[in-house]
């Protein structure tokens, strides 16, 4: 792995699947896991094996079929969780145990009714025990976003001492500003003894709509893994959206950070996840929403028809969308109407277009969106129809 390579850790099947009502069965999880592997993710977090027999089975089945990606199972810092995860991962070619504990004062005081020294010991013991089963152990400091940096650095040091290969710094509550999250990563890169033995990982939640921005700041400041989900699904407001961070790094090559993702599969897998979980993707969702490459105002349509790049920073084909859409509404102009009419076989002169455009506006004021059948109707009922078909 070169120093500019950002590992993509997909947690659609674990953190993503925590969305209420979106539970998947093992067969559905296996289908998604195979597509994640084709997409080129580096790590698939397949589940939380101790949580239910179904999740155990899913992790086990995914471990059997995945050949190139690392397969990961989540645990708490509890011996039995770790033992069960190791068992579920026993067929994996590249198994990883993801263990950890809450490190913010609020988690230590209210969740564990404990103290900082005890948490350090529990973190050490969990990683050490996980290491007795697998080489690759990722440690998460839950609520790291609200953990003070000095203490977080000590937690990271003990996890490294116990053998952690990856240190996950979750902004569990989606609280951090990008500048704070970036500064946290920089602080850890500069202050954790032994940091060269592990990589830092970004795990951001979207409660304030900052998950993607925070993850990007994290990698700019030294992290080398991003944890994310397809379509940004996940607890509450969701996780970092995989398609967003991947395309940000691709569209900004001067950052000199790249991923192993085959971006042409992004749209397909977005549809697969949304269909399997019956969770609708908002139309204006970046990269994969239905309107991400649709243009409906006259000014934008005129520009895009002349040259796509006037209003698009991504070629839709790069993310698996066949082409940009010119959507006809009452806000559309002549250029868009002529373009869509041409697509269905009408080559209109300027005068014919003027006549038809007036009909079109009347029609479009009644209807939200004009489709190809409507265009045929508008043209066939126009004064210039005979002229058009005899040309």
Contacts to ligand KIV by CB under 6 A: 15, 140, 142, 168, 170, 172, 203, 205
Q: Taking contact as CB under 5 A, which single stretch among the options 8-16, 194-202, 357-365, 367-375 is the one that binds Zn ion?
A: 8-16
Beta-bridged to residue 133, according to DSSP, are none
Q: Is the dihedral of CA 340, 343, 346, 348 positive or negative?
A: positive
Q: Which is nearer to Zn ion, 15 or 81 (CB)?
A: 15
Picked from ligand KIV, Zn ion, none, the partner binding residue 201 (CB below 5 to 8 A depending on kind) is: none
Q: Which of 173, 111, 112, 185 is nearest to 143 (CA)?
A: 173
What's the maximum distance between 2 C-alpha atoms anywhere in the chain?
A: 88
Picked from Zn ion, ligand KIV, none, the partner binding residue 142 (CB below 5 to 8 A depending on kind) is: ligand KIV
Picked from Zn ion, ligand KIV, none, the partner binding residue 231 (CB below 5 to 8 A depending on kind) is: none
Report the C-alpha gap between 299 and 334 in whole angstroms.
Answer: 10
Which residue of the chain is nearest ligand KIV when measured via CB? 170
Would you say 269 and 275 are in contact if contact means Cβ atoms under 8 Å apart? no
Q: For Zn ion, which residue of 7, 10, 15, 33 counts as binding (CB under 5 A)?
A: 15
Residue 10 CB neighbours (<10 A):
30
Q: Which is nearer to ligand KIV, 39 or 144 (CB)?
A: 144
CB 168 to ligand KIV: min, Å:
6
Picked from ligand KIV, Zn ion, none, the partner binding residue 60 (CB below 5 to 8 A depending on kind) is: none
CB 203 to ligand KIV: min, Å:
5
Picked from Zn ion, ligand KIV, none, the partner binding residue 140 (CB below 5 to 8 A depending on kind) is: ligand KIV
Q: Taking contact as CB under 5 A, which single stretch among the options 7-15, 50-58, 84-92, 331-339 is the one that binds Zn ion?
A: 7-15
CB 204 to Zn ion: min, Å:
8
Total site size for Zn ion, rule CB under 5 A? 1
Would you say 102 and 71 are in contact if contact means Cβ atoms under 8 Å apart? no
Q: Which is nearer to ligand KIV, 206 or 270 (CB)?
A: 206
CB 83 to Zn ion: min, Å:
23
CB 238 to ligand KIV: min, Å:
11
Q: Taking contact as CB under 5 A, which single stretch among the options 10-18, 86-94, 140-148, 349-357 is the one that binds Zn ion?
A: 10-18
Tokens of 360: 């079109």
Beta-bridged to residue 370, according to DSSP, are 328
Q: Taking contact as CB under 5 A, which single stretch among the options 12-20, 107-115, 137-145, 344-352 is the one that binds Zn ion?
A: 12-20
CB 56 to Zn ion: min, Å:
20
CB 24 to ligand KIV: min, Å:
17
Beta-bridged to residue 101, according to DSSP, are 141
Helix (H/G/I), strand (E/B), else coil: 261: coil
Which residue of the chain is nearest Zn ion when measured via CB? 15
Helix (H/G/I), strand (E/B), else coil: 39: helix
Report the C-alpha gap between 376 and 358 in whole angstroms.
Answer: 15
Helix (H/G/I), strand (E/B), else coil: 79: helix
Beta-bridged to residue 294, according to DSSP, are 325
Tokens of 34: 């195979």
Q: Which is nearer to ligand KIV, 77 or 281 (CB)?
A: 77
Picked from ligand KIV, Zn ion, none, the partner binding residue 104 (CB below 5 to 8 A depending on kind) is: none
What is the gyration radius of the CA atoms in the chain, in angstroms?
A: 25
Helix (H) or strand (E) holding 227: strand 225-228
Would you say 143 and 104 are in contact if contact means Cβ atoms under 8 Å apart? yes
Would you say 327 and 369 are in contact if contact means Cβ atoms under 8 Å apart? yes
Residue 280 CB neighbours (<10 A):
10
CB 365 to ligand KIV: min, Å:
48
Residues that bind Zn ion (CB under 5 A): 15
């Amino acid at each position: 792995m070169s120093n500019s390579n950002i590992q993509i850790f997909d947690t659609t099947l674990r953190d993503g699947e925590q969305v209420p009502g979106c539970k998947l069965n093992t067969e559905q999880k296996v289908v998604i896991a195979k597509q994640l592997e084709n997409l080129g993710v580096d790590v698939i977090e397949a589940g939380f094996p101790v949580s239910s027999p179904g999740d155990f089975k899913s992790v086990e089945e995914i471990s059997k079929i995945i050949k190139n990606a690392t397969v990961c199972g989540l645990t708490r810092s509890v011996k039995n969780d770790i033992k069960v995860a190791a068992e579920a991962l026993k067929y994996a070619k590249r198994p990883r145990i993801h263990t950890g504990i809450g490190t913010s004062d609020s988690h230590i005081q209210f969740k564990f009714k404990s103290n900082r020294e005890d948490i350090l010991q529990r973190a050490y013991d969990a990683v050490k025990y996980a290491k007795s089963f697998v080489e690759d152990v990722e440690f998460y400091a839950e609520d790291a976003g609200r953990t003070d940096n000095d203490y977080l650095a000590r937690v990271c040091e003990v996890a490294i001492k116990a053998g952690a290969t990856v240190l996950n710094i979750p902004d569990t509550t989606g609280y951090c500003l990008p500048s704070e999250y970036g500064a946290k990563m920089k602080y850890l890169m500069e202050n954790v003894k032994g940091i060269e033995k592990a990589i830092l990982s970004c795990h951001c939640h979207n409660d304030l709509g900052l998950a993607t921005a925070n993850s990007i700041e994290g990698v700019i400041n030294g992290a080398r893994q991003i944890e994310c989900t397809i379509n940004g699904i996940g607890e509450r407001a969701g996780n970092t959206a995989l398609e967003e961070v991947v395309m940000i790094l691709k569209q900004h090559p001067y950052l000199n950070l790249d991923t192993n993702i085959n971006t042409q599969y992004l749209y397909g897998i977005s549809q697969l996840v949304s269909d399997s979980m019956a969770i609708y993707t908002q139309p204006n969702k970046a990269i994969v929403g239905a309107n991400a490459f649709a243009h409906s105002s006259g000014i934008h349509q005129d520009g895009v028809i002349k040259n796509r790049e006037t209003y698009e920073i991504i070629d839709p084909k790069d993310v698996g969308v066949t082409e940009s859409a010119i959507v006809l509404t009452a806000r559309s102009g002549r250029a868009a109407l002529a373009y869509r009419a041409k697509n269905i076989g009408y080559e209109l002169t300027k005068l014919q277009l003027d006549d038809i455009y007036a009909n079109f506006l009347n029609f479009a004021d009644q209807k939200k969106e004009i489709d190809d059948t409507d265009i045929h109707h508008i043209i066939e009922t126009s004064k210039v129809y005979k002229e058009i078909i005899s040309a």
